[in-house]
A and B are shown apart, each in its own frame.
Chain A
């Protein structure tokens, strides 16, 4: 069974600082990997996805993530945080077998951005 670990349930950064949100997965075969963002009282919005093309994936709102097979990681970064980035972020995986996109989620990381 797949699993996802997000280190740090809360992360606080200053506006303009680097954002680094960590995600590690456990799977015998590298899965598809995703990052989602959730703003208060809203649904989840797909930020970016890794499906086996380039290991460095660029997403919306200036975020990017790098797939590292040797570390089983898919950390999310943004060079300069903005106040509007404050939200909860979820890492998710789905396996490559079958045709459905069933997602297994991490427990989420709440990002706080301070002045």
Chain B
């Protein structure tokens, strides 16, 4: 079945450091890929998405490229801020776009 694997956290960085959170997936067909962010005590917010191979999703300085050949959708940001501290979830939509399959989440901690 479909699955998403994310790097384990927590990821601890200093402000202005470069961020990469790895995400790989297993899926049949051609899923859409998503990154969601969850701030403490809140629900999930869509951060970015990509719907086909080689698409790049970007938002708020974050970006991720849909790589079909490596089945990956790694999240990157050039310079993180303390306010980026949150849990980041990689997800895919299954064929038929009915349900999202999530990774286990990666906690990011950014210190001043």
Tell whether A and B belong to one assembly: no
Query: Which residues of A does B touch, CB under 8 Å?
Result: none
